[in-house]
Every structure is written in C-alpha cells, then in structure tokens.
Amino acid sequence: MPGGRHLVIGVPFIWLFMFFMLPFFIVLKISFAEADVAIPPYTQIYSFVDQKIQLLLNLGNYTMLGGDELYIAAYLGSLKMALFSTILCLLIGYPMAYAIASARKEIQTVLVLLIMMPTWTAILIRVYAWMGILSNNGLLNGFLMSMGWINEPLQILNTNLAVYIGVVYSYLPFMILPLYANLVKHDNSLLEAASDLGSSTFNSFWKITVPLSKNGIIAGCMLVFIPVVGEFVIPELLGGPETLMIGKVLWQEFFNNRDWPVASLIGFVMMSLLIFPLIMLYGFLCL
C-alpha cells in the first residue's frame, strides 16, 4: 500500500522535525533577541501592535561573535580537539576492530561486550576515575616513580594531554563498533585470491580491506568527531586554563552570564558547522 509506505517513511522525518529542526529554529529565534532581566531572560523579537506585526532582529550578537577572538579561539580549539581525537581513535580503534573481526566466531561477542562494558558506567564516574589516575599523586605517577623512570610527578592533569586521554578513552567504543560491524562482513576469499596472485599481506590489507571498510571508517569518525566538538564534561574536569572549547564557553554564557541570546547564537553556529561533516558523510556514502 502506497499510503502505508509513506507513513513508515514519514515517521523518521516527523521525529527529526520535532526533536532536531524545531529546537534548531527555537535556538535561532533566541539568538536574534537581546538579554533582559526577565523570565525567560531575553526579549521577544516580534510584537503585535495596532494590527501590525513588528519584527525586531538584534544583529549585534552576530557582529560581536565574528569580532571576538575568544569565541573564534574556542571554535578553533574545539575543532582541533575533535579532529586529533578522531584521528587517535581511528588509529587505535581500527586494529582493535580488525582483531575482533578476525577472531573466532564464539569469542567475537565476548570481545565486543568487553569494548562496550565501560559505556555502561556514567561518564562522570569514568572521568573522575581518570582524575585519580592522572593527578600528581595518582596511580600513573605512583607507578612511574616506583619503577624509577621519573624522579618527580608529571603534570598531566589539567592539561590538554589529559583531555585527549579522556576523550579517546570515552569515545573509542563509538569508533570500534561501526568498524567491527563493517569488517566482520568482508569476504575473505578476496584476500585469498590476492595472496594467490602474489600480493603481500600488507598490500592486500591496504588495497582490499581498507577500501572496503570506507563506510565503517566514515561512520566511526562522524560518531566521534561530532559529539567531541561540543564536549563539556571532559574538558571541564580534566582540562586546564589553556583548554578552551566551545562547550565550556556555551555553558558559561548560559548559566554564569545568563545571556541566553549569545548562548543560543554559539549553539546555533556550532550546529551549523557540524552540518558540513554530515553532508560530506552523505556524499562519501553515495559514491
């Protein structure tokens, strides 16, 4: 039935409109308002007076955002952190996913569960655990000093290195699972045929396995890159004063400064920037 098919297809679009597009437009509307001492703490951008609808758009927030080095540095810092974290997750996660896909069928499920088990614990607990590991008197420095490899504790906590460690640890499963789901479906006869034709193991891996796993690589990179751009908890707890990310700036504008229009503008620009990776993902998958 054509009507039933359209209904099934329409449900995801209704879901996306209700929980993505509608909040997106609400945030966009607030970004054109001005901060005010009221509840909610911003002015209305439209009014109805004398049977006329007046639309008042405040463009000052947009000009301020483009000329303020703090916000630009926060966006660039978030993109840099997300990019390098995604690369690290790919370099670490691909061999792990390949090893799981190459293991015996009866232990693949166990290995996947071991990868997923850390995600069953709240992220706050896991980040607090890393604070104890990376602190000056934590487990890592204690181990290194007991082995005689260092004479004094290393300053790891409250640095960008600690943030990278926390991000890679937290988002590594989101890279491994799409890669495993892709690699486990590969036809091993292609590698056998390449070997019979004289291809080396590395050459077969690079020219057959890696190209066939393109969709898994792209999906895993998107699942890591997009949430890391707006990450707040990990930089706040593990980072230091030099760790400047847009999620932290957004939280400060929203809760500390109570400037909802600026906070909405920051969130709107951040979401707009993330649309481009999604478009690129769609384009790669269609190739």
Q: What are 6's two structure tokens? A: 């359209």
Place of tokens 């190459």: 102
For 69-73, 84-88, 270-274, which range has the lowest pLDDT when averaged over its residues? 270-274
Cα–Cα distance for residue pair 66/238, rounded to 1 Å: 29
pLDDT above 70 covers a percentage of the chain that reads 95
For residue 87, which of 151, 20, 172 has the smallest C-alpha distance? 172
Largest CA distance in the chain: 84
DSSP-assigned beta bridge partners for residue 238: none
**Predicted pLDDT of residue 285:** 60
Q: Is the pLDDT of residue 284 over 70?
A: no
Q: What is the pLDDT of residues 191-229, one digit of tens each?
A: 888 888 888 888 888 888 989 998 899 889 989 998 999
Confidence of residue 281 (pLDDT cuts 50, 70, 90): low
Q: Is the pLDDT of residue 14 over 90?
A: no
Contact 210, 95 (CB under 8 A): no
φ, ψ of residue 45 in degrees (nearest 5): -90, -5
Which residue has better confidence, 65 or 126? 126
Q: Is the pLDDT of residue 190 over 80?
A: yes
DSSP-assigned beta bridge partners for residue 251: none
- Single-letter residue type at 85: S
Pairing of strands 46-49, 52-55: antiparallel
Cα–Cα distance for residue pair 183/140, rounded to 1 Å: 34
Q: What are 5's two structure tokens? A: 């098919």
**Predicted pLDDT of residue 286:** 61
